Structure 1
Amino acid sequence: MTAKWPVLVAAALSLSITAGAAEAQTKLKWAHVYETSEPFHTQSVWASQEIAKRTNGRYQIDVYPASQLGKETDINQGLSLGSVDVIISGSSFASRSFAPIGVTYYPYIFRDANHLLAYTKSDVFKELAKGYADKTGHQILAVTYYGARHTSSNKPIKTCADMKGLKIRVPDVPAYLAMPRACGANTAPIAFAEVYLALQNGTVEAQENPLTTIEAKKFYEVQKHIALTGHIVDHLNTVISSGLWKKLSDEDKKIFTDVAQEAAARATAEIQAKEKELVDFFKQKGLTVSEVDKNDFKETVLKNVTFESFGYRKADYDRIQAIKSEPAL
């Protein structure tokens, strides 16, 4: 009888190890380039904790903010290289793999945030997201409103012509370059993390970003004017790598998707509320904040920049323009 005990103990231990391996925790990396104070980060942290909770701790997701795992180009490449599992990034970078999805960055394609959010529920969005997934294997789980991009500078801007010769930092993505170049500005593709210093030392005299980013990155400390050009109503995608997506069960795919969409909705609400407060904030900081004639800018872009030059399809632009949405509050 006693001789059997070692065998039984060994068998029980083997079963225990096997069960433990089945329930082993998977560690994942979630990366973005935004500051820890921004909703894109705080809601990413919430999402990582929520996924852990809903999967009974089977996934531990560490969030890496502020370009810790590389610039936006790097983390997009990381999805394919396996160095990151989830990222938050704009469709402008997704368009490097599937050009048509970048049409959402053609200046003045969206009227406002509500128009953008209506687009994310439309057939044209589903088709563009599928095109990106078919090309890369990566899945867009959710879309977050990033804010309307405006222009800050050290000289006042009222019209498109006022930008002629302006040294402006713009992300190194063709769609972002469209409006400034159409208006005659000289663009410089400085990395996001280096923009403050470039404005401070005069390497460039202007930049364009949402009001929330101008505040978070403290660009208002080294700029005198903000022109509310609203040339791009920007958004960020929550993207999961093809390697991870293939490994997830259907149940886990639903959890990751649901949580990502809840986090995106929470961040969107925060951004919309913050935008309303910031005009007064910047005025209190001594900046001049000015409205512009957006039609002047839009017509100049349409006259000078073709959709085909970016690999976009005018049919997608027309369908997006036709999407109806509730008017902005």
Structure 2
Amino acid sequence: MERRALLGGIAAASGLLAAPNVVIAQAPVTLNGASQFNDDHVFNRCMTRFEELVKQYYGRPINFVMHKNSSLGLEKQFFEYMSAGRAVDYAIVSPAHMSTFSRAAPFIDAPFLFRDLAHWNTVLDQDLFKPVADEVARRARVELIGYAGGGIRNIFSSRPARNMAELRGLRVRVQGAPIWSRTFQAIGMAPQVIAYNEVYNAIQNNVIEAGENEAAGVEQMRFFEVGPNLLMTQHAITIRPLCFSSQTLARLPRELQEAIRRAGREAGVFGRQTESSEDEQKVAALEAAGRLRRIPFTERAQMNAAVLPVMAAYAREIDAEGIQSRINAITS
């Protein structure tokens, strides 16, 4: 009897080893997200919405772990991790950090590209950046599954500036993509590329005088403490892709892949609607609390005219003339 029981146990164990997928399939998938910010930031709320929608559409157990407050680094590192298929599976990342893999990626978020929020929304609704997303997926192995953003970027500065003459020589931090330095130089400023988490101290120590950001970033990073003058240049409207590692995606069940792509699109819309609606509220609240002063900028048309040749040359350089033409042709 004992020998038969032993042989039966061995046979049962052998059966499990011969079909390991039976065991693995029952274990919930765990996906890791990353953010530079805390739960109050719109990016984190957008990714929370993404997680909720994936669970709803997949309908099976799945775990999400969000690494917040830059615990895994900055957006540049998040994108590198996703490209390598390790540590981070999903994150919201500025297109400027994708330029290593796609020269056209920063064009998604280029300054002076959109006339207003209506124009910006139409561009996204028509999926005009699909060629760029396809290139990023092919070369970086990261899918852009949704588009968040919607914050209007202005310059926060230690000194006021109301026109082009007063902007001249302003030492301002810009993102690393070349188009940002080129356009700000064309306006007459002195742009410098500095890591995002070093901007506060750089202004405090007079290394630079200013930075540029949307209201959510100004509030979260407390930039108003060192740059209390908000110069209303309205030079950009943000697009922040919700990214997902292609390598991770390929390992997941087909039903979960479909849920992730569907949830990504819808979470991106949620992020855009939320940030664009809250942008003015945040500026007004900071102003009412005496934390910053809005400085009207009176020469926005002249500023746009100064950067038009730079934008056209950049579009030619990165083979994005077709995208730019279609964006400019939108009349809404």
TM-score, with normalisation over the residues of structure 1? 0.88
- C-alpha change, 1:193 and 1:310, in structure 2 (3 Å) is farther
Tell me the equivalent position of 1:263.
267
Deviation at 1:151, TM superposition (A): 0.6
Q: How far apart are the structure 2 equivalents of 1:217 and 1:199? A: 13
Alignment RMSD: 2.5
| 43-52 vs 169-178, which moves further | 43-52
- C-alpha change, 1:199 and 1:259, in structure 2 (3 Å) is same
**Which digits, 9 at most, give the CA deviation of each residue in 1:82-123, with x for residues without a partner?**
232212112222233111232233322112233223222325
Tell me the equivalent position of 2:161.
157
Does residue 1:106 correspond to 2:110, yes or no?
A: yes
| 239-248 vs 114-123, which moves further | 114-123
TM-score, with normalisation over the residues of structure 2? 0.87
Q: How far apart are the structure 1 equivalents of 2:6 and 2:117? A: 68
Counterparts in 2 of 1:165-244, with a 5 A limit?
165-244=169-248
Does residue 1:62 correspond to 2:52, yes or no?
A: no
Aligned residue pair count: 325
| 122-131 vs 188-197, which moves further | 122-131
Deviation at 1:274, TM superposition (A): 1.3
Tell me the equivalent position of 1:316.
323
Q: Do 2:173 and 2:208's aligned partners in 1 also have CA atoms closer than 8 Å?
A: yes
Does residue 1:71 correspond to 2:77, yes or no?
A: no
Q: Do 2:47 and 2:91's aligned partners in 1 also have CA atoms closer than 8 Å?
A: no
| 275-284 vs 302-311, which moves further | 302-311
Specify the SS of the correspondent of 1:236: strand
**Which digits, 9 at most, give the CA deviation of each residue in 1:215-273, with x for residues without a partner?**
12111122231112111111111111121122233321110112222322222222122
Tell me the equivalent position of 2:301.
295
- C-alpha change, 1:50 and 1:108, in structure 2 (3 Å) is same
Q: What are structure 1's unaligned runs of at least 5 residues? A: none
Specify the SS of the correspondent of 2:114: coil
Q: Do 1:177 and 1:187's aligned partners in 2 also have CA atoms closer than 8 Å?
A: yes
Q: Do 1:89 and 1:236's aligned partners in 2 also have CA atoms closer than 8 Å?
A: yes
Q: What are structure 2's unaligned runs of at least 5 residues? A: none
Q: How far apart are the structure 2 equivalents of 1:57 and 1:15? A: 26
Q: Do 1:48 and 1:63's aligned partners in 2 also have CA atoms closer than 8 Å?
A: no
1:164 partner amino acid: R
Tell me the equivalent position of 1:126.
130
2:222 partner amino acid: K
**Which digits, 9 at most, give the CA deviation of each residue in 1:17-51, with x for residues without a partner?**
74322222333321232343202112323433543
